[in-house]
Amino acid sequence: MGKEVAAVKIAAATVKNFIAHIYIGYGFSETDSALIAETLTDADLRGITSHGVQRLAMYDRKIRAKAIIPYNKWTVVKHTKSSLLVDANHTMGQLVSAFTMDHVVSKAQRHGISVGVVRHSNHFGAAGYYARMAAKAGLIGIVATNTNPLLVPPRANQPFLGSNPLAFAFPTQKAPFVFDAATSTVSLGKIEVLLKNNQSIPGEWAVNGDRQTQTDPQTVLDELARNRRIGGILPLGGQREANANYKGFGNSLIVECLTGILAQGSISADLGHKNHDISHFFLALDPELFGDPQEIEASLSDMLDRIRHLAHSGTNPIRVPGDREIQNVDCNLKNGVVIDQTTIDQANEIANRLGISDRLSGTPIKE
Q: Which of 129-143, 214-228, 279-293 has the lowest mean pLDDT?
A: 214-228
Provide the b/e sequence for 189-219 (b: ≥16 CB within 10 Å).
bbbbbbbbbeeebeebbbbbbebeebebbee
What secondary structure letter does DSSP report for 201? P
pLDDT at 367 over 70: no
Closest CA to 102 of 130, 73, 82, 70: 130
pLDDT score of 311 more than 60: yes
Q: What is the pLDDT of residue 4?
A: 61
Q: How many CB atoms lie within 10 A of CB 297?
A: 19
Half-sphere exposure of 308 (CA within 13 A, CB side): 12
Burial class of residue 293, CB neighbours in 10 A (0-12, 13-18, 19+): middle
- Domains of the chain, first to last: 7-292+325-364 (3.30.1370.60)
pLDDT at residue 364 in the model: 84
- Which residues partner with 80 through β-bridges? 83
Q: What is the pLDDT of residue 227?
A: 86
Q: Where residue 1 falls among pLDDT bands split at 50, 70, 90?
A: low
pLDDT of 164 above 60: yes
Phi/psi of residue 149, nearest 5 degrees = -65, 130
**Which among 164, 178, 182 has a CA at the least distance from the CA of 280?**
164
- pTM over 0.85, yes/no: yes
pLDDT at 51: 95
